[in-house]
């Protein structure tokens, strides 16, 4: 079996980045999944890196053809709605890859569709920004994914094949769960502090105080991860800083972009998740408690 067509749901910065790369490889290799409401209000073309993309939009119906490969690139708080939207597209051989932030979406997807369909994954290193209805990026980053569930064994190579053809960088680590916690810790640090500081990536590459604040938030994740059976290290935080130095200095995290645009953030997937896990294991999380409160204020002020 080879994957010929990828269905992407979520045409924000991440979905547009990888959707455009698939489109550039072969226009017929990508379809954008939308509900009826979005189908009515979406423009016929999307502008990505100043180029028009006339994507094929698909509204799922009960009799829709089943998808080979679905990439989920929505916000965490939209996952329940997304599961309902894609349900008609999921058949016995469908593969699902979530690029959502956080560490729980795969569990929800497997409960809905079965563990034999769900790859674990995330993207890292992209500096894509969505502003004024357009998406721009200089670095597409890479997709990191793997077969955490035994039932999905053998399907990662199918996803890798289409990514390779489209020129999408990817890696398949031996321990995808550890890598997902690594990305979770990064997001807890940079997404939240950048939204509060209104700091683009360049700030984290050169301002020691920003690096220290990021590290304080990240360090609360390390003992929690250990209790969850995952080893994270101080050196991982140093690695984050080096990654930020490779990104566009003007690039912005997704949470920074959400706060700027007055959108709902994913703070529940970050600070609130850390707080909840901290309570579960009896580990104090004062930094993330403070970050959570600040971000909730920003959401309600619409700043």
Say how far residue 137 (Cα) sits from the centre of its chain.
15
Buried b (16+ CB within 10 A) or exposed e, 245-279: eebbeebbbbbbbbbeeeeebbbbbbbbbbbebbe
pLDDT band at 6 (very low <50, low <70, confident <90, very high): very high
Q: Are 149 and 260 part of one and the same domain?
A: no
Segment 176-192, tens digit of pLDDT: 999 999 999 999 999 99
Q: How sure is the predictor about 302, in pLDDT bands with cuts at 50, 70 and 90?
A: low
pLDDT recorded at residue 43: 64
Give yes or no: residues 85 and 142 share one domain.
Answer: yes
Edge to edge, the sheet with strand 129-131 lists: 51-53, 46-48, 134-136, 129-131
> 181 and 148 share a domain?
no
Give the domain-ending residue among 151, 173, 195: 173
* CA-only gyration radius of the chain, Å: 19
Rounded to an integer, the average pLDDT of 83-100 is 98
Q: Are residues 60 and 145 in the same domain?
A: yes
303, pLDDT greater than 60 = no
pLDDT band at 50 (very low <50, low <70, confident <90, very high): very high
56 and 12 fall within a common domain: yes
> Is 60 exceeded by the pLDDT of residue 216?
yes
pLDDT per position as a tens digit, 108-126: 999 999 999 999 999 998 9
Shared domain for 217 and 293, answered yes or no, is yes
Check which CATH number belongs to the domain holding 129 and give it.
Answer: 3.40.50.720
CATH number at residue 211: 1.10.1040.10
Q: Which domain holds residue 250?
A: 177-301
Q: Average pLDDT for residues 211-230, to the nearest whole number?
A: 98
The closest of 37, 40, 35, 32 to 12, measured between CA atoms, is 32
Q: For residue 1, tell me if it sits in a domain.
A: no
Q: What CA–CA distance (Å, rounded) separates 201 from 205? A: 7
Q: From CA 21, how far away is CA 288, in angstroms rounded?
A: 36
Higher pLDDT, 234 or 39: 234
| Residue 156 binned pLDDT confidence (cut-offs 50, 70, 90) | very high
213 & 297 share domain: yes
pLDDT at 36: 86
Residue 45 has pLDDT above 80, yes or no: no
Please state, for a pLDDT cut of 90, what percent of the chain lies above it. 89
The confidence band for 205, taking pLDDT boundaries of 50, 70 and 90, is very high
Residue 214 CB-half CA count within 13 A: 30
pLDDT computed for residue 39 by the predictor? 80
Res 23 pLDDT > 90: yes
Average the pLDDT over 235-253 and give the result.
Answer: 92
If you average pLDDT over every residue of the chain, what do you get?
A: 95
User: Across residues 197-221, what is the average pLDDT?
Assistant: 97
- Higher pLDDT residue, 238 or 303? 238
At 132, the pLDDT band (50, 70, 90 cuts) reads confident
């Amino acid at each position: 079996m080879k994957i010929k067509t990828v269905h992407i749901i979520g045409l924000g910065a991440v979905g547009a980045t990888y959707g455009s790369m698939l489109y550039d490889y072969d226009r017929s290799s990508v379809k954008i999944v939308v509900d009826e409401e979005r189908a009515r209000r979406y423009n016929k073309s999307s502008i990505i890196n100043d180029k028009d993309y006339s994507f094929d939009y698909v509204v799922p119906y009960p009799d829709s053809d089943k998808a080979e490969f679905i990439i989920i690139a929505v916000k965490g708080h939209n996952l329940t709605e997304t599961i309902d939207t894609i349900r008609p597209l999921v058949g016995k051989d469908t593969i699902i890859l979530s690029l959502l932030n956080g560490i729980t979406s795969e569990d929800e997807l497997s409960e809905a569709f079965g563990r034999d369909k769900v790859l674990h994954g995330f993207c890292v290193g992209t500096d894509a920004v969505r502003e004024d209805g357009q998406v721009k990026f200089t670095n597409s980053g890479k997709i990191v994914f793997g077969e955490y569930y035994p039932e999905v064994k053998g399907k990662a190579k199918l996803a890798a094949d289409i990514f390779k053809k489209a020129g999408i960088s990817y890696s398949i680590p031996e321990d995808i769960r550890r890598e997902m916690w690594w990305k979770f810790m990064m997001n807890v640090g940079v997404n939240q502090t950048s939204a509060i500081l209104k700091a683009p990536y360049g700030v984290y590459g050169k301002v020691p105080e920003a690096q220290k604040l990021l590290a304080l938030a990240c360090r609360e994740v390390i003992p929690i991860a250990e209790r969850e059976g995952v080893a994270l290290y101080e050196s991982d935080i140093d690695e984050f800083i080096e990654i930020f130095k490779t990104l566009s200095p003007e690039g912005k995290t997704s949470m920074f972009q959400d706060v700027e645009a007055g959108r709902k953030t994913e703070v529940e997937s970050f600070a609130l998740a850390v707080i909840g896990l901290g309570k579960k294991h009896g580990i104090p999380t004062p930094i993330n408690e403070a970050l959570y409160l600040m971000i909730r204020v920003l959401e309600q002020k619409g700043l």
